[in-house]
Chains A and B, each alone.
Chain A
Amino acid sequence: MSGSSGSQRFAATLAVLACALAFPFLASGYHLYQGAQVLILAIALLGLNLLTGFNGQISLGHGAFFAIGGYGAAILTAKFGVPYWAAIPIASLVCFGAGFLFGFPALRFGGLYLALATFALAVATPQILSYKGFDAWTGGSQGVLLAKPHAPFGLLNADQWIYLVCLLCAAALYWAARNLATGRIGRALIAIRDQPIAAETMGVNAALYKTTCFGVSALYAGVAGGLSAIAVGFVSPESFGLSLSLSFLVGIVVGGLASLGGVLFGALFIEFVPNLADQLSVNFGESAKALPGAIYGLLLILLMAAMPTGVAGALRAVARVFGRGFASRRQSGIEGGGAASASREM
């Protein structure tokens, strides 16, 4: 079974990648921008899912690290003239540091207290960003404007180029997260989540893993924030409030906790539901503003009750049903000679 689900996953990954690669040459303008946003959100969700889904540390404040990445990239490019391809890695390393440091006290917090502390971080972030003392760098409540990068050699237009940069980052970070999560480190993270005391007894250095996981997770959020800053061309304090952090949480729950492929569904969801509400508000007026919150809230509760594995879990279940039917038909057809392939199927 593992062989077949592995090859299924490989095929699915290739298909998604092919679609994503073809997209910039088929779509244009605003749709391309939305595509880039989906990829950016997917990166942030990957990071949050490593932390919350795999390691069980609840963060309600990843918008803060997203903000550090965004502001870092914006300040570096706009005020110091650093090119964007250098600004994003620098900003995300800063995020890694910030996440690692926040992870230290988080060690002593335990699940619920960490949720409290990160909630506080999320609520306080817009105020800190618009603090007058940092005005010279952050532009206060005005935010920072930055120029959109141009494609090298003028082969593509700026939108296509930004989309492809986002796609490259998303693919690389997905690959890295997959390697992290499926190997020894991933097993250690899951062990700490499910049986913290047993994990430590087995020699897993829980403190190191938890702080590093927090740091890596913040780094992902930082890359996403940096990319978002260059894609939008603008950062301002209001865009990094509690609702951003909560929409990340919604994203990983919809996509599936501890599922890396699921983040794509989560990202599509949190990108397009508010959009839909905006379109509806033309007909229904101001009350349509309540729609995303209502949908998010209901889905969080219903998914937790009925489908805690999210969209990814549902797809896996469907694939298993179809796969079983397929495998049994194959097996009956190749009785005798196909023992080797049948055993690989298991």
Chain B
Amino acid sequence: MNEFLHQLASGLALGGVYAIMALALVMIYQATQLVNFAQGEMAMFSTYFAWKLMDMGWPYWRAFAATVLISFAGGVVIERLVVRPFAKAPVLASVIVFIGLALIFNALAGWLYGYSVTSFDTPFSGRPWFGNVYMSAHESGAVAVSLCVLALVYAFFRFTPLGLAMRAAAQNPVSSRLVGIRVGWMLAIGWGLAAAIGAIAGMMAAPIVYLDPNMMAGILLYSFAGAVLGGIDSPFGAALGGFAVGVLENLVGAYAVGAEVKLSVALAIIVGVLVWRPSGLFGRRLVARV
């Protein structure tokens, strides 16, 4: 029982990372109906950036804040320079461009920072929180940060004029433009937010999975699974799906198939959900207009 609760708890910690990654994916999906395959590598690159800052002697939270801001700017720039020219291209072209972006970031990280596995600091060190014996301090901290991010994103979209404008631009670009919303910029800000959230996910994941240029491939896959499970057009569903996948992955890995084939859990979830309930648990059913 103890062991079970321990697995459950560490599943929740990574689940929080998957949840906010899935949220970042959904943010871009809602606006463009595209899934950003480069999200993971962008997050990895941001995490390396934070590592570099800390290596230069910056304290954790200052490096954290700087990384989030720079990632936001980077996301906006990428949308403007790379993604925008393909706005009207078919899905295949967009997917190829995203794969290209992912390859570039992976290569860039390898070139700048090397391919060796590095450890990454956590701000939540020391004794476990609240006498919680099942979670390390970092795991509790990661869950707390994920929940904070979810709450902030919810508040941003629910209570701020900019959030409202972004939702409008995603739902009905033509009408939004008619009432004076700059739809193009809303998309760019969406990319910036997704990149910033991804950076936080990367920094929360890195102390657990360690830092290397390929660290995000698995995490991105689980986030895909979480987003698909919850419904790729529902932010709430995707976040819940992320947590669920984190727990499921850990439990199935520990008790059913063994930790070394855990990635196939994500494959099974994705294929299973798409076969039995393509809209996910909380997504809207898609109806195509002929």
Size band of the B side of the interface? Answer: 35 or more
**Binary per-residue interface labels of chain A (278-312) against chain B in the complex, 1 for a CB within 8 Å, 0 otherwise:** 00000000110111111011111100110010000
A117 & B271 in contact (Cβ 8 Å cutoff): yes
Q: Is the beta-carbon distance between B270 and A127 smaller than 8 angstroms?
A: no
Give 1 or 0 for each of B265-288: 1 = CB within 8 Å of chain A CB: 011001100110010000000001
Contact present for A120 and B224 (CB under 8 Å): yes
B91 within 8 Å of A (CB atoms): yes
Task: Tell whether, in the assembled complex, residue B275 and residue A294 are in contact, meaning their CB atoms are under 8 Å apart.
Answer: no
Contact A297 B221 (CB under 8 A): no
Q: How far is the CB of A163 from chain B (nearest CB, A)?
A: 30
Could you tell me the distance in whole angstroms from the C-beta of A54 to the nearest C-beta in chain B?
12
With the chains together, A121 CA to B268 CA distance in Å?
9
Give, as a whole number of angstroms, the nearest-CB distance from A116 to chain B: 5
Q: Do the beta carbons of A58 and B217 come within 8 Å of each other?
A: no
A52 at the interface (CB under 8 A from B): yes
Q: Which of B100, B105, B114, B271 gathers most chain A CB within 10 Å? A: B100
CA A249 to CA B99, docked complex, whole Å: 9
Chain B residues with CB below 8 A from A199, complex form: none
Residues of B contacting A127 in the complex (Cβ-Cβ under 8 angstroms): 260-264
When C-beta atoms are compared, the residue in chain A nearest to B100 turns out to be A300
Shortest distance between the CB of A192 and any CB in chain B (Å): 13
Kindly report which residue of chain B lies nearest to residue A198, judged by CB atoms.
B290
B264 pairs with A300, CB closer than 8 A: no
Residues of A with C-beta under 8 A to B263: 120, 123-124, 127
Q: Let me know if B93 and A304 touch, CB within 8 A.
A: yes
Q: A109 in the interface, Cβ–Cβ < 8 Å?
A: yes
Shortest beta-carbon distance from A248 to chain B in Å: 11
Residue A272, interface by CB 8 Å: no
B286: min CB distance to chain A, Å: 8
B96 touches A249 (CB 8 A): yes
Give the segment of A29-37, A128-136, A177-185, A325-333 that binds chain B. Answer: A128-136
The answer to whether the Cβ of A208 comes within 8 Å of any Cβ in the partner chain is: no
| A3 contacts B by Cβ under 8 Å | no
A304 near B100: Cβ-Cβ < 8 Å: yes
Given A287-B110, A297-B100: A304 and B221 interface contact (C-beta under 8 Å)? no
Contact A300 B267 (CB under 8 A): no
| Closest chain B residue to A308, Cβ basis | B93
A58 touches B92 (CB 8 A): yes
Interface residues as binary, B100-117 with A (CB distance below 8 Å gives 1, 0 otherwise) = 111111111011001100
Q: Which residues of A contact B82 (CB under 8 A)?
A: 301
Tell me the A97-146 residues at the B interface (CB within 8 Å): 105, 108-109, 111-113, 115-117, 119-121, 123-124, 127-128, 130-132
Which parts of B20-43 form the interface with A (CB within 8 Å)? 33-35, 37
B85 interfacial contact with A, CB 8 Å: yes
Answer whether residue A222 sits at the interface, using C-beta atoms and an 8 A cutoff: no
Question: Does A78 have its Cβ within 8 Å of any Cβ on chain B?
Answer: no
A249 to B108, CA, bound (A): 20
Q: How many residues in A have their beta carbons less than 8 Å from beta carbons of B?
A: 46
Complex: how many Å from CA A131 to CA B104? 31
Contacts of B179 in A (CB 8 A): none
Give Cα distance in the complex from A305 to B106, angstroms: 21
Tell me if A301 and B100 are in contact (CB < 8 A): yes
**Contact yes or no, A286 B101, CB < 8 A:** no
A287 and B111 alpha carbons, distance in the complex (Å): 5
By a CB distance below 8 angstroms, the chain B residues around A60 are 37, 95, 99
A52 & B100 in contact (Cβ 8 Å cutoff): no
A124, B267: Cβ atoms closer than 8 Å? yes
Asked if B89 CB lies within 8 Å of chain A CBs, one says yes
Which A residues touch B271, using CB under 8 A? Answer: 105, 117, 120
**Complex partner residue of B104 from A117, A123, A294, A304, CB under 8 angstroms:** A294
Residues on the B chain within 8 Å of A289, using CB:
110, 115
A287 surroundings in chain B (CB, below 8 A): 110-111, 114
How many angstroms between the C-alpha atoms of A249 and B103 in the bound complex? 12
Given A120-B221, A297-B100, A297-B104, 7 more A-B residue pairs with CB atoms under 8 Å apart are A58-B92, A115-B37, A286-B115, A293-B103, A293-B106, A301-B82, A305-B86
Rank and list the top 7 A-B pairs by shortest CB-CB distance, nearest first.
A300-B100, A297-B103, A293-B107, A297-B104, A294-B107, A290-B111, A290-B107
* CB pairs A–B below 8 angstroms (19 shown): A105-B275, A108-B278, A111-B92, A116-B35, A121-B267, A127-B260, A130-B260, A242-B217, A257-B92, A290-B106, A290-B110, A293-B103, A294-B104, A294-B108, A294-B111, A297-B107, A301-B100, A304-B97, A308-B93
